[in-house]
Amino acid sequence: MERTELIREVERLKAERNAVILAHNYQLPEVQEVADYVGDSLGLARRAAETDARVIVFAGVHFMAETAAILNPDKTVLLPDLEAGCSLADTITPEDVRRWKDEHPDGIVVAYVNTTAEVKALADVCVTSSNAVEVVAQLPKDRPIFFLPDMFLGAHVERETGRKMDVWMGECHVHAGIRTEDIERALAAHPGAEFLIHPECGCSTNCLFMKPDAKMLSTSQMVAHAKESPAQEFVIATEVGILHQLAKQAPGKTFIPVREDAICEYMKKITLEKVYESLRDLKHVITVPEPTRQAAQRAIEGMIAVG
């Protein structure tokens, strides 16, 4: 089926199924273009919680579809490709969390949204890259905190809040692959550009010393900043899928990725054809067992309420 016909069929099936398509900023441009909403994890969670649609097609990775299923137990949540996983979410297990909780009975578990439903169910609150600092800043000062699973986001939160936490040593393979030398090279080639960096990047601490006016932002915050900034050129340190949304929302401006190969192969497993097939066949349905869902829902709703 040709692309034009695929788009037409997706729109027809959306109406027929009373469906909504939610897409992450890292998705392929063709998928972003058929989505009803494109955003970061926090924005997507909020849209999933608010939608009246009976079917949610989640163009993202598995933990994102799980989050939508947790918030919408009475709706059908579809993930177009079951192999769309997350290397960061895979770094920690429920057993790892239980072990820490056993050793710190008065502790608070703060789980990044990039985690499985089972891990979220053991958390006190979830966070995203856009609200992690604000959430942690509000937590009681006299209780230990376990921040998981991204060590670079955890370091950013510690730096911004002044709170010392137990931080899990997990990382996103794409953001960890962005090196200081990549950024130095891009900034040297574009000395007048603004520099926007995602807090999951492994070199984020070095970058703040190297360029104190760097903006550490989630993907949706990058889009919002680029739209409002008077700057015309930006160096971008995150997965390259964001470039499509940046160019679309801030037309006429120039966006330079620090690495053109900063590509999440899991995000890119979702294609326009798979979105169509997912709607056509109502596949693949993502569900979460009820006890896990209820426990995880409390942590996710705490995340949605902040920022």
Annotated binding residues for [4Fe-4S] cluster: 86, 172, 264
At a CB cut-off of 8 Å and minimum separation 6, what does 29 contact?
A: 244
Which residues participate in the annotated binding site for iminosuccinate?
24, 41, 112-114, 129, 198-200, 219
At a CB cut-off of 8 Å and minimum separation 6, what does 17 contact?
A: 54, 55, 279, 282
Q: Which residue has the tokens 């899990």?
A: 168
SS (H, E, C) 64-82: HHHHHHHHCCCCEEECCCC
State whether the Cα torsion 206-212-218-223 is positive or negative: negative
SS (H, E, C) 21-80: EEEECCCCHHHHHHCCEEECHHHHHHHHHHCCCCEEEEECCHHHHHHHHHHCCCCEEECC
b/e sequence 219-231, b meaning 16+ C-beta within 10 Å: bbbbbebbeeeeb
The overall longest dimension of the chain from CA atoms, in Å, is 60
- Number of helices (H) and strands (E), helices first, in the chain? 15, 12
> Residue 295: which region, alpha, beta or left (left: phi > 0; alpha: psi -120 to 50)?
alpha
What is d(CA 158, CA 179) in angstroms, rounded to the nearest whole number? 21
Which residues participate in the annotated binding site?
24, 41, 86, 112-114, 129, 172, 198-200, 219, 264
